[in-house]
Structure 1
Amino acid sequence: MSDEVWLISRARACMKPTKSDPYAAKAWMITARSLFPNNFSIQFEAYSLEKAGKNVKEAAKLLEEMFVLFPNEPQLWEEIQEILEILQTEMSANSHKNFLTEIFAAVSTPTQCQMLLSVAQKISNTLEQCRLLLLAMRKFPNLVFEHGLKLLDTLQQAELEAKMKYPVNCYRKLFVCDVLPLVLQKVKKPELPAAQIYRWLQMSVEFYIMFVTQSPSFNTSSSNSPELLSPTKLSNRVSIPGLFDKECQVSDPWGSLLKLIILLGQLMDWDVPPDLFSEPREIQYKNIYSMYNRARQSRSPEQTRQVLYTTVVLFLECLYTYVSSVDPQSFLGPSASHTPLVLMEKFENESADEEPQAKKAKVQTESSPTIEGAESISNASRIINSFTTAFKCYELMHSTADLQTEFMKLCEIWHMETWTWMGHFQTDMLIYQGAFADAIAHLQNFSSTIKENMQLRSNLQMACCFYCLQKYSKACELVLNVIKDLPYTHDRPPASNLAETSGAKGRQLWLTKCTESEILPYCIQLLLAALKSKAFSAKGDDTSLGHMIVLLQYDWPKSEALFFEVLKKIKQQNSLVYNMFFNYVINVDILEEIAFLKTLEGGKVNLDILPTSTKVIAQQRTVTRGVNKVVKEDFKLTMVKQMGRSDEPVEKLIRTFLTNERISILKALA
């Protein structure tokens, strides 16, 4: 046994449980280090002894000395590597791991830096090497000048060599979220070709958009707080293979991307306001449009790209905000409990003399419609502004051949055709443009992939489009299907403000929740609008008028004005044949007005509305004298009896009517 080994064994013997004398062990090691200062085993044993005794300063001092004196010892590198690995992970409950980080913190700053760089050079694993260099640059910002650009190249090359098929991978995350911002903040004017910087830009946008739009891969059942259920919060916790949980998190994905765009823009001398993306939507688009006008005047390719990228990023951010509100499950996964939203044509109860709503929608597609949000949507204004801004950006990117070509190139690079969540925006954009036939085709193309929670939305929009194309029968068939699938709550839903005119001229769209209280009034209004178009046309018939009277009970007395138009029509033709009248009409006001029509003051209108037709009664009587008197008595008795039904729930009655008379309704609209 050598002297060195003997001294180490004596020190260890003092630390055995039977003796446990750390002071004696330390004395032996002081002696050993004095006698053999160049022996690594003795120095490492002394370090281990101080580490076991939780002596941070002494352990750090010994570690630093060994790093200088014994730079090639494998055991030392294993120790340093373990410490550096712990530094990259989250704070642990393990006291040993936390103690190792304290030792590293006590090492002098220059040695810390050298340790990080030296270990990074020795590691063969590219990802681990990049991690350590990133850690070094964060702790020692001056290293960014020397290693920043090299690290970006390394990560970019590593992603290519690994043949990563998905942008959200470990290399891209470190590149986009961690290294690139550091480099851009420190290296103001790197000597790089513009193509390289644009490539960084493309990689960054692609990463962030895929990061925020993929469903979370962690279990949310343990916590359902509103904060955790927001789209942005959930997207921060996407799991990325190869990275620690802490590394996978991005505190503010959109904020990080927007800051990155500004930094890259400054690098390329873009004429972009630093606060562009923090302004209200209207100001954001106004600034971009000003840039667009300057680019057109200068005809500079660089300015065109500047407009392209700022517009694309604003478009995608607005698009994400809108789609995450319209279909929360797109990004939050099945755990999302938020109700989908639907954008549809808004119907006003215009008078019979006015041009029908469907024709208005057809001829007014040149001017942009206004969008109104339901009162039940708390952030309706923000959602609507996001949609309209996204639409303007989309139009801007297709306004010139150059912009459109460049945008299509980006679409190919990012494989935008695989972004299924964009389908909702495309449908709504077509409706917004008044391209109803295209909207129907788009909805039908994606009908097989529509999720169950969005089926109601799809049917409503298709019905709305068919109505605007004056295909009333098909529109109402879809509406009747929607109503059939709506749950009956046994309570009268709150009166919809759909019929209230805002005073705005031109087309109006309606953004509302896919709930019974919002959808049922809209469906009934669409049915009324379709029946009205038929009833007041040259081909109008009494069945359409009768069906209207039944439906007008739903939103009484708001629908009173339209009812009086129906009465006016009945008076003009001096008759009404509708034998299912007493099956479904129970509103006292309506019953009184209809009864008044038979009086002398009311015009003595010929009403054939008893369950058994007046003509049939006349045919059944062998003696016709007194038939009219009998009919009058039957009418009075039936009317009195009907008054007693006035307390019946209207919604249930309307639903029964729509179910039982489905064929009659569709036939009337054919």
Structure 2
Amino acid sequence: MEMDLDISDEDYVIAMVKQSFPTDPFESRAWMLTAKSLYPANFGVQFQAYRIQKELQANIKGAAKCFSDLIGKFEEKEQLWKEIEAITKALRAEDDDTNRSTEFLCEMFKHMSTDVQHHLLVLTANHCEDTMEHCRLLLLLLQRFPVAISSYASNLVDTLCSAERHCYNTAINNPCRKILVCDLLPLLANEQDLNLDITEKQYYNVLVKAIQFYLYSMGFMQLEEQEDLKIEGAWQKLFTIVEFIGNQLGWDPTIGFSNTNWSKEGFWRKLLAYHRQVPPNFDEKQSCFTIFIFFCYCLDEYNFSTTPECSPGQLPITHVLVEAFLDPTLPVPPVEPKFKRRKNDAAPHPHISVEKPEMKQMINNFFMVVNCFEFIYSTERLKREFKKFCDCLKIDAYLNGFIIDYMVYKGKFDELIAFFEKSNCQVVSKNIRTAHVSYITKNYSACFEQILSILPLLSIRNKGNLSTSLVIGGVRRHLHFLPLTHFAVLQYCVKLLLRCITENLSSTNYNEYAIGSALVLTQLDWPQEDEFVPPIMEKIKLHGSFHFPLFQNYIINIELLEELTYLWTPQGGQITLDIIPHLGQRRIGTRGADKGAKEEIKQAIRRQIARSNEKLDDLLFKFLTHERAQILQTLI
């Protein structure tokens, strides 16, 4: 290779270094050592020395030394800045990127002196014109050099808050907020005896941002531009930030979240004791923030428990609190433990049931939210601040499910209907509760209309099972966490309608269509509803006949068929059983009856018995939808 004779001595040596490097690295290194000694102030020579060490990737210490020399002498050179940017980029990706070049740069950085490392990061951050990149570099500095926290953390907090305010307006899940909440605050929380130049107002502003961010990540808010943001261990991370900011604000640690043996029940008792004693250093802001955060934690656990985790391939099932039913002939369930009751309760709590014993935590979680909610609403100050929190953090949608359950629990049915009219609620959940309110106010036809609106919404993919807990013994009010599955919702609707028809029947004249409809409805949950059958059979017997044109369409329960057949015999009362439409007005009895008609009755009964294994949910669904007009007539 011919050399240009007009080049400088420095460029000549560099050219020789480059020329010999591919074929003889040792010769190239000799040229390089010579050049470094002869021209210590020449950037091209010194940078080429670094590049050779980097490309060989055999001598990390040598590369680190060369780069350290460059940092101290040639900070204004563009080539050097590109290399600095590559190093800082590698440091940020150290845990995620397994690229060989990234690994080398990270290792090289570790072999620099701490002074050079610190200087490099500060230099890069100050040189960066992009605000977000500047913040990321300062964060990197603080992560690598905790000693720098006292010098740079306050400015970084201020820069992040200012950048969010000017660049992202109302967006919660923005880069500034993520760095502040997920990276910077946890880093600061690990430091002992930290004294930052941050005002009390700014600390509270940061605390609200952290609460809002984590509640957003856990689904508390429903915003127009919702992004999926899942954070592992979100509550514990939020508690850590609350503890840190609380320490900076001088909060009383008595009601802090830092205890490793923390439990909802224990914290609740501690919170009550704290507010009963009202210590001299009582801080109203600490009280409000602590109670609100604890309430949100309990609310989240409650909402999570009402939609339990399901097995792979299955759909999650939501449970809603509904007014359930009583049968005085059944055993009385045990009373809940005393801790669930408040001392000033004038009346006992309703009994609350669940589908399975392992779901009882749902009840405990509900009572914990109830206790917290009632404590908040026990004083005007807490109630006022709570409403401010809800408005600021936009958690109404996440809160609505509990508010509805609470109104059901308290029996505030007028308020519940008013709430439905102004709130956007899940349709099936809303209509189920509205149907029951119509039932208890004896507006039976309105109850049936609500049931009809529910039927098309029944889940086809989530069939579920019939509940065995919708009816209990005793006279104490009964509530139940109803799973929103096909069978459970249909079962609840059928039970409601059955009670509407039988209660209306008892106060009116003999109505054979109402009696027939009631018998059809008892079949779905047989034998749980067999209590309704004896008084119905007694009415039929006293009347002496039973005319129900829809008999062959809908009555297939063997025990009901046996009861009716018995009433048709001389021993049972010898009633007229008019269940075959084409027999018209002919009297079908035993005494002097037409033998052919009698045989038709027997055949009809046999045909019904042969259908006893049909799907009852399909049968009842058909009955409710196809016979709407006739059913409504029984409810007027």
- Check the 8 A contact 2:452/2:624 in 1, yes or no: yes
| Contact 1:436 1:465 (C-alpha < 8 Å) held by counterparts | yes
**Secondary structure, aligned partner of 2:528:** coil
Instruction: Name the structure 2 match of 1:461.
Output: 433
| CA gap 1:133/1:539 in 2 versus in 1, 3 angstroms | farther
Q: Distance in 2 between matches of 1:274 and 1:130?
A: 29
Aligned to 2:71: 67
The change in CA–CA distance for 1:42 and 1:379 in structure 2 (over 3 A counts) is farther
Structure 1 position 411 matched with structure 2 position 369:
no
Residue 348 (structure 1) aligns with: 326
Contact preservation (8 Å) 1:104, 1:112 = yes
Secondary structure of 1:512's aligned partner: strand
1:403 CA displacement:
0.8
Amino acid at match of 1:29: M
Q: Could you give the per-residue CA deviations for residues 85-129 of structure 1, whole angstroms, max 9, x where no partner exists?
A: 221125324322222122112212232122212221222222222
Deviations 1:52-94 (A, max 9, x none): 1113111011111222233443432331222012211253243
Q: Say if 1:276 and 1:51 are closer, same or farther in 2 by CA, change over 3 A.
A: closer
Quote the RMSD (CA, aligned, Å): 3.7
Distance 1:284 1:667 in 2: 56
Q: 1:610 aligns with which of 579, 587, 592?
A: 579
Cα offsets for 1:361-380 (capped at 9, x unmatched): xxx997543432223xx963
Partner of 1:387: 366
For residue 44 of structure 1, what is the aligned residue in structure 2? 47
What is the aligned counterpart of 1:398 among 369, 377, 382? 377
Task: Provide the secondary structure at the position in 1 that maps to 2:284.
Answer: helix
Q: Which moved more, 1:575-584 or 1:435-444?
A: 575-584
Return the alpha-carbon distance in structure 2 between the equivalents of residues 390 and 598 of structure 1: 57
CA distance in 2, matches of 1:291, 1:578: 68
Q: Which amino acid aligns with 1:566?
A: I
Aligned pairs for 1:313-324 within 5 A: 313-324=293-304
Taking the TM superposition and a 5 Å limit, the aligned residue runs for 1:170-249 are 170-186=175-191, 188=193, 190=195, 193-213=199-219, 235-236=229-230
Q: Is the 8 A contact 2:168 2:174 kept in 1?
A: no
2:469: which partner in 1?
498
Matched residue type, 1:290: A
* 1:645 alignment partner, one of 570, 591, 608: 608
Deviation at 1:601, TM superposition (A): 4.3
Task: Check the 8 A contact 1:149/1:183 in 2, yes or no.
Answer: no
Equivalent position of 1:629 in the other structure: 592
1:531-550 matches, within 5 Å, as 531-537=501-507, 541-550=511-520
Query: Residue 361 of structure 1 corresponds to which residue in structure 2?
Result: none
SS of residue paired to 1:342: strand
CA contact (8 A) 1:14 1:24 kept: yes
Percent of aligned pairs sharing the same letter: 27
| Conservation of the 8 A alpha-carbon contact between 1:577 and 1:608 | yes
Q: What residue in structure 2 maps to residue 664 of structure 1?
A: 630
Which letter maps to 1:265?
A: G
Q: Which residue of 1 aligns with 2:333?
A: none
Q: What SS is found at the alignment partner of 1:405?
A: helix
User: What residue in structure 1 maps to residue 339 of structure 2?
Assistant: none
When the two structures are superposed, what TM-score results if normalisation uses the length of structure 1? Answer: 0.80
Q: What are the superposed Cα offsets for residues 8-59 of structure 1, whole Å, 9 maximum, x if unpaired? A: 111111135xxx2211111111000111122222111100111011131110
How far apart in 1 are the matches of 2:527 and 2:586?
Answer: 35
CA 1:494–1:35 in 2, change beyond 3 Å: closer, same or farther?
closer
Q: How much has 1:203 moved relative to structure 2? A: 1.6
Structure 1: how far apart are the matches of 2:349 and 2:283? 28
Q: CA deviation at 1:444?
A: 4.0
CA shift in 2, pair 1:309/1:347, >3 Å:
same
Contact 1:288/1:307 (<8 A) preserved: no
1:269 and 2:248 aligned: no
* 8 Å Cα contact 2:295-2:373 kept in structure 1: yes
Distance change (3 Å), C-alpha of 1:283 and 1:539: farther
CA distance in 1, matches of 2:222, 2:49: 48
CA 1:428–1:579 in structure 2 vs 1: closer, same or farther (change >3 Å)? same
Q: Match of 1:309, as an amino acid?
A: F
Tell me the equivalent position of 1:118: 123
- The CA distance in 2 between the partners of 1:97 and 1:287, in whole Å, is 51
Q: Which one-letter code corresponds to 1:610 in the other structure?
A: I
3-state SS of 2:41 partner: coil
Deviations 1:367-416 (A, max 9, x none): 543432223xx963344433332333222222211111222222333244
Q: Which of 136, 141, 146 is the equivalent residue of 1:136? A: 141
Contact 2:459 2:485 survives alignment (8 Å): no
Aligned with residue 236 of structure 2, among 225, 244, 255? 255
Gaps of 5+ in 2: 1-6, 331-344
Question: Secondary structure of 1:338's match?
Answer: coil
Q: Is the CA contact 1:535–1:544 (under 8 Å) kept in the aligned structure 2?
A: yes
Q: Which moved more, 1:660-669 or 1:554-563?
A: 554-563
Summarize the alignment of residues 368-379 of structure 1 with structure 2, pairs less than 5 Å apart.
368-375=349-356
How many residues were matched structurally?
A: 603
> Is 1:285 aligned to residue 268 of structure 2?
yes
Separation in structure 2 between the aligned mates of residue 535 and residue 380 of structure 1, nearest angstrom: 37
CA distance in 2, matches of 1:172, 1:421: 22
1:247 alignment counterpart: none
Query: How far apart are 1:189 and its partner, in Å?
Result: 5.9
C-alpha spacing 1:284/1:523, structure 2 compared with 1 (3 Å):
farther
Distance in structure 1 (CA, Å) of the matches to 2:9 and 2:366: 81
Aligned partner of 1:158 in structure 2 is: 163
Give secondary structure in 1 for the equivalent of 2:448.
Answer: helix
SS in 1 for 2:369: helix
Conservation of the 8 A alpha-carbon contact between 1:144 and 1:182: no
Q: Which amino acid is the alignment partner of residue 459 of structure 1?
A: N
- Whether the aligned pair in 2 keeps the contact of 1:586 and 1:643 (CA below 8 Å) is no
Segments of structure 1 that go 5 or more residues without pairing to the other structure are 218-231, 237-249, 330-334, 353-363
Any conservation in 2 of the 1:304–1:403 contact (CA below 8 Å)? no
Distance 1:630 1:572, change over 3 A: closer
1:183–1:526 distance in 2 versus 1, CA, 3 Å: same
* SS at structure 1 position matched to 2:432: helix
Per the alignment, in what secondary structure is the counterpart of residue 41 of structure 1? helix
In the alignment, the residues of structure 1 paired with residue 544 and residue 167 of structure 2 have an alpha-carbon distance, to the nearest angstrom, of: 83
- What amino acid is the match of 2:242? I
Please list, as runs of the form range in 1=range in 2, the aligned pairs for 1:517-532 lying within 5 A after superposition: 517-532=487-502
Q: Classify the secondary structure of the residue corresponding to 1:470.
A: coil
* Distance of aligned partners of 1:531 and 1:262 in 2 relative to their CA distance in 1, 3 Å threshold: farther
Q: What's 1:227 paired with?
A: none
Matches within 5 A, 1:89-128: 89=93, 90-128=95-133
Say which SS state the counterpart of residue 479 (structure 2) adopts.
strand
The structure-2 alpha-carbon separation of the partners of 1:650 and 1:121, relative to structure 1 and needing over 3 Å to count, comes to: closer
| 1:306 aligned to which of 286, 295, 304 | 286
Q: Is the 8 A contact 1:492 1:650 kept in 2?
A: no
Q: 1:322 to 1:117 in 2, by over 3 A?
A: same
Q: Distance in 1 between matches of 2:457 and 2:50?
A: 74
Q: Residues 513 and 548 of structure 2 are in contact (CA less than 8 Å); yes or no, is this contact kept in structure 1?
A: yes
Flag the 1:408–1:656 CA change in 2: closer, same or farther, 3 A. Answer: closer
Tell me the SS of whatever aligns to 1:617.
coil
Amino acid in structure 2 at the alignment position of 1:642: I
Q: Which amino acid aligns with 1:429?
A: Y
| Counterpart for residue 450 of structure 2 | 478
CA distance in 1, matches of 2:258, 2:548: 66
Residue 307 of structure 1 deviates from its aligned partner by: 2.8
